[in-house]
Structures are given as structure tokens and as C-alpha cells.
Amino acid sequence: AIAKSQLNEKAEPARKVFLQLINLYENSTNEFIVPDVTAFGAFMSCCANQIGPDDRKRYALKLVLGTYEQLCKEPKFGQPNEYIYGSLIKACGRLCQDKDEKSRLIETLFTNCKNEGKVSRAVLAGLLKSCPQKLRNDLLKDCLKLDVDSTKKRSRVDELSFSVPAHWCSNVLNRNQPKTFHSQH
């Protein structure tokens, strides 16, 4: 609810709820109360939707990156999946104001994502939306460009179609696999 709300401040309320969940887990003897990757993803999504001044966006980005590090270090919560990577790339695209830092973060995250076989349609869509063209071309250089029918009307000049290597999406649910990806970006 926080992520899609009209609130300007999304990161801080989401952080409070997320910390309550972590504290409940840490203080419970119930072994079934474990925040999972879905809870981490929901928190990261809230942060990715932060609006307002640059300092609040920077704070939200730090929360997202810190949460990703926590998820990577503590396997009891689950492993980052395609939704986590989608939220990460979205957050970097929306929240990072420094172009060099944004490119570096997106490149690192996308490389991790493809090496883990977790590139989904949403990850690719986020990458195309968040990424400078040169970096996008570098990151997607292993994709086979497909012929696009030149008789089709295109809403944009830079329409992209390509085939994604199978190992990039080997750990993605079948319905989310981007074997062929077509984007009007």
C-alpha cells in the first residue's frame, strides 16, 4: 500500500514496518516467522517509489542497497530473485542522481542477475528504462538482435527486439522468462 500511495515519503514508513517484521522474527521463538524474499522485495519496491528531494531519494537508495546486501549475506531469508533484481534496477534508475554511479550500480546488478540466471521480462524492462543507451548496448551485446518487420508502425524509433541467452533466465519461472523480448523503448 505504501509503494503506490500518494505519500511523498515512502522509504521511512516502509522502513519502520520492515524493521518491525525483522524485530518480530529476531525476538520470536516461532521458527515459522521468518521474513522471506517477498517481504524484502516489498520493502525495496516501496523505497524505489520514493519521490521528493534528492536527499530523500539518496536515503531510499541506500536502504535498497543495504537490504540487498543483507539478503545476500543471510540465506535464511532466501536468495535474491528476479523481483529483487527488478526492484534494484528500478531503484537505481529512479533514485540515483549521479549518472556515473547509476551506470556502475546498474551494470553490477545486471551482471549479478544474469550470472545467477535471474533475468526476467521485468528486469529487462527496468534495464531498458533506467539505463543509458551505451551501457544498455554493452550489457545486451550477447543478445541476438531479431529482424523487426519494417512495415509495422512503430511508436518510437528505438524499438528493440532481441533474443536472450537461455542461461540468463535459467532460474526464472517459465512464465516470466524473456526468451524473446520486444520493447518499444
pLDDT of residue 1: 54
- The pLDDT, as a whole number, for residue 133 is 87
Beta bridge partners of 182: 161
Q: What is the pTM of this model?
A: 0.84
Residues of the chain short of pLDDT 50, as ranges, are: 150-151, 153-159, 184-185
Closest CA to 102 of 79, 131, 75, 78: 131
Residue listed under C-alpha cell 532466501: 78
H, E, C per residue of the chain: CCCCCCCCCCHHHHHHHHHHHHHHHHCCCCCCCCCCHHHHHHHHHHHHCCCCCHHHHHHHHHHHHHHHHHHHHCHHHCCCCHHHHHHHHHHHHHHCCCHHHHHHHHHHHHHHHHHCCCCCHHHHHHHHHHCCHHHHHHHCCCCEECCCCCCCCCCCCCEEEEECCHHHHCCCCHHHCCCEEEEEC
pLDDT tens sequence across 83-134: 999 999 999 999 999 999 999 999 999 999 999 999 998 899 899 999 888 9
Contact between 107 and 84 under an 8 Å Cβ cutoff? The reply is no
